[in-house]
Structure 1
Amino acid sequence: MSTPAIELPAVPYLDISDPSFAMQSEALRTAREQSWYARTNFGLAVLRYDEVSKLLKSPKLCQGSAKWPAHNGVHGGLFYDWWTKNLLVLEGEDHHRIRRLLNPAFSPRLIKDLVPRFQDLANELIDAFIDQGGCEFIRDFAEPYATRVLTILLGIPESEWPKIARLASTVGLALGVTFKQDLDKVEAAVAELYEYAEELIKDRQANPGVDFVSRLVLASRDGDRLSDEELRNALVLLIFGGMDTTRNQLGLAMQSFIRNPEQWELLARRPDLGGKAVEEVMRTNPTVTWVTREAVEDFEYQGLSIEKGTTVHLFTQSSGTDPRAFPNPELDLLGEHAPHYGFGGGVHHCLGHFVARADMSEALPLLARRLANPHLTGGDEWLPDSGNTGPTRLPIGFTKRA
């Protein structure tokens, strides 16, 4: 008599390149209830907190973004050369060495000294639109704030911010599904950023100051230094990553608080919760909705055979609202929660997290203290809801607080 076959639960499938795919959807929540992982048109997606936590730190997976250009048919050129040599995709000793040399420049002390500048900047931007009862939040606040914070950090004139924003946004097109058709624009932006970074490095080598770039130029450990090319690549990554993600995250924060008005009122009363507001928004509504890894060997995890070369997406947004780890997964500034992975995790944890945490934790309470009842007024436009997301236009209305 034959043994009856064991019925395995059906594994959900998600089409993550479909324009209608949504992270915060019933379909994704259902998939997460059904299984800890899903199959997708680009490898596996890990949906639950516990599995994301463990796999983020697994030595059996390496950074999976290095092959992104090749997946899109791009095998050479300026963007390809920069992308395949920057900290985001390097592994092993190369990654460890560059990270070790960059680390001292990201000093919490340097950031702390800049906090009053961040507050003045946020107030200046709010002053420009507060009497109108509405604004286009990305154009009028999120983009100039994120970019001017970056110019303050780099010690370059704040008047340069529109150029920096334009170049960073253009390089950001490389991470979208339209990468191949945007390639010429992306290459031109990288060329311009290279030139910009090289001039900045030369200037700081000749005239070092106390700014971030000077710290990078002077950084050395055990007689080791960053080469001019490594410095340039790191600066271009900082300009791109520092502007793009902070702008997107501020837009997503506003969306989150519009959906949770009682939390906005709490933040207005308790500006000391600014840091908590950043953590909660990044847990429940992060701009980086997944991080990509690749299997470096064949291995088995929880009964699933994962072959070498398999792409594994760790869904940070889905894991951050997994009811197994967060019994009350909604935005809650007074809740105590496990750490989120909005800044990635493991050896590839975001190096610039101090900067992002510092500037957003100043901006959000100031906005809450000055704008009551923020609400969408229509006409908002969004990046695709996969990889890096956020609003590109976010018209809002509000009441000026007395």
Structure 2
Amino acid sequence: MSQKPYVAGVGMIPFTKPGASASYIEMGAEAARLALKDAGLDYNLVQQAYVGYVYGDSTSGQSALYEVGLSGVPVVNVNNNCSTGSSALWLARQAVESGAVECALALGFEQMQPGALKAQWEDRPPVMGKGVALTEQLCGDVEVPMALKMFGGAGREHMQKYGTRLETFAAIRAKASRHAANNPLAVFRKVVTTEDVMNDQVIWPGVMTRLMACPPTCGAAAAIICSEAFARKHGLRTDVAILAQSLTTDRPVAYETESMIQMVGFDMAQRAAREVYEKAGVDPLDIRVVELHDCFAHNELLTYEALGLCPEGGAEKFVLDGDNTYGGRVVTNPSGGLLSKGHPLGATGLAQCYELTHQLRGTAEARQVEGVELALQHNLGLGGACVVTLYGRG
């Protein structure tokens, strides 16, 4: 038995810099309360909860939700690197769609530390061993943090393969800032120009400046997913539905082709998107708004091609033609994306859900994209997992 899953409520708190946030317990509880309030639902009616975070001890999800209530609800803690929030959403959607439950909560939060991402355990083999080895093989000529080396290396490969210019990545970052200026929940709302980005601190000569990388961020977001019958019974809204969703992991192509573009998830994203389009019976040209995983400006450009928003090798033209912003073909990251809104790892996927739900409701205020009928979400975690979700009007 398959039940159509609806997004009955969403909640998100303002994202902040590390050291300026409340604790993960307070952030997570507040985001859950906001989603419940938005839905008009009592926490005691939630039948399952999936809570995502990357940097936290076991059962941190319970610690946050116990502040909302002690209902005895099953709580599952989720960690899938930067795609954690969408993985929690994937589990909540699957539980409702399968008929296992009528209502589930997906919650994500992160209390991050300043500086580049780093391993937390030094007494055991590191994760992403295959990816690190390939990165060192292909990009060992530069000394930069590993995540930057991976995505910067992928961007460099695109530059070498298609002649993409550094200014194009800078234009993506400038676009993100213009969008975030209209988002009161974004951590960075200052508008920067392409020239500002180009003139910022050089991290990798010819490949990346500091502004092309997303900042470590603290925050939380949540969503209530329910069936139509549950919504009718409790008077909940059914104006936004999840039409299709796919979670993919790496195949041999990620490591055997000696391509940094493939190593950072191109194949995962492409397969997930194609599965979603096929299931929903839509074409990528039908999409007018997308929230995608722009952890680096380079990955946003690569993702245009992986999602089929433009042909492979056509991303620079897509950017230069203005097809990635208001007035163009598809508005990408109206929230400001990870580059300007911020990237609290466990919360990011649910923050994307929050933005697209409001876009479909027509309540995104100054960020509103006209005529939204379909909204696409892409959330990537190296190591690896990629979640692509298609939302539509209920």
TM-score range, shorter chain: under 0.3
TM-score, structure 2 as length reference: 0.26
Computing the radius of gyration from Cα coordinates, the structure with the larger value is: 1
TM-score, structure 1 as length reference: 0.26
